[in-house]
Amino acid sequence: MKHGKKYLEAEKKLDRDKHYALDEAIKLVKDMAFAKFDETVEVSVSLNIKKSHSIRETFVLPHQFTGEKKILVFAKGEKADEARAAGATFVGDEDLVQKVKDGWLDFDVCIATPDMMKDVGRLGQVLGRRGLMPNPRTKTVTNDIKEAVAELKRGRVEFRADKGGVVHLGVGKVSMDNGAVAENIRTFIAELLRKKPADLKGEFVKSIYICSAMGPGVCLDQAPFMG
């Protein structure tokens, strides 16, 4: 991959053979950030897993760094009232299903009560392509609407391993306090380690890198995370 002049200049500050301590790595990532916008700090973890292993989880980062999400809730009756009281942006049942089916997509995340999934399931092609389909595994198919909306408003995020066994997650902004970024990273790694498959032999994590959205990746020393 060919990189631009600013990237190559930033890369001169990096020792490719070194595994950096977390605090040092965060400082370096920020020092190498060169974009004119406030870049996202990203973590990439390469895992030693089989194709049969499913690594996917949702959790709340200690320090939120994105704008508030537009939350859509498919629910009826009391559960719809619960969603409105919890602060959901949009709430409805069949009318909202039809609106989405007609092409309306002005929302960031969907929640549905289990009884609504028969209707919501018809939106598979529309929502599935955008990663918006409610799913029990991501706690977006639930009867506990109040808690689901509250977690999303607090900044609940999702991670999953891609086909190459790598998990990517944004954990902060270059403008954030270093300690807040570090706490988000530690929380993420701890959540990820809990997903180690029971039948896995050998090390679960092969490598951990952090970078800004546009900058070079910095390899982390894994030892402190492994406990």
**Predicted local confidence at residue 66, as pLDDT:** 82
Name residues whose C-beta falls within 8 Å of residue 210's C-beta, 6 or more positions apart in sequence: 25, 26, 29, 41, 42, 43, 44, 171, 185, 217, 218, 220
> Containing H/E element for 95?
helix 94-101
Q: Which of 204, 210, 211 is nearest to 226 (CA)?
A: 204
For residue 42, give the 3-state DSSP assignment: strand
- The residue type found at 115 is D
- The residue type found at 216 is P
**What percent of the chain is modeled with pLDDT above 90?**
79
Of the candidate ranges 91-95, 143-147, 174-178, 197-201, the one whose mean pLDDT is the lowest: 197-201
Mean pLDDT for 67-94 is: 94
- Given a cut of 90, whether residue 87 has pLDDT beyond it is yes
Mean pLDDT for all residues in the chain = 93
**Region at 91 (left for phi over 0; alpha for psi -120 to 50; beta for the rest):** beta
Q: Among positive and negative, which fits the CA dihedral 105, 108, 112, 118?
A: positive
Mean pLDDT for 175-186 is: 97
C-alpha 72/C-alpha 180 separation (Å) is: 29
**Predicted local confidence at residue 202, as pLDDT:** 87
C-alpha 214/C-alpha 198 separation (Å) is: 36
Backbone angles phi, psi at 105, to 5 degrees: -140, 35
Q: What is the pLDDT of residues 16-63, one digit of tens each?
A: 999 999 999 999 999 999 999 999 999 999 999 988 888 988 898 999
**Predicted local confidence at residue 52, as pLDDT:** 86
Please report, for residues 22, 60, 118, 132, 153, the alpha-carbon distance to residue 141 in angstroms, rounded to integers and kept in the order given.
36, 17, 12, 12, 16
- Given a cut of 70, whether residue 227 has pLDDT beyond it is no
For residue 40, give the 3-state DSSP assignment: strand
- The residue type found at 70 is K
**Predicted local confidence at residue 16, as pLDDT:** 93
Q: What is the pLDDT of residues 111-158, one digit of tens each?
A: 999 999 999 999 998 998 888 999 998 889 999 999 999 988 888 888
- Given a cut of 90, whether residue 191 has pLDDT beyond it is yes
**Predicted local confidence at residue 117, as pLDDT:** 96
pLDDT band at 161 (very low <50, low <70, confident <90, very high): very high
pLDDT band at 67 (very low <50, low <70, confident <90, very high): confident
Backbone angles phi, psi at 192, to 5 degrees: -65, -40
Mean pLDDT for 108-112 is: 94
Provide the whole-model pTM. 0.78
DSSP characters for 134-203?
--GGGT-B-S-HHHHHHHHHTTEEEEEB-TTSEEEEEEEETTS-HHHHHHHHHHHHHHHHTT--TT--S-
**What percent of the chain is modeled with pLDDT above 70?**
99
Q: Which of 181, 192, 180, 205 is nearest to 58 (CA)?
A: 192
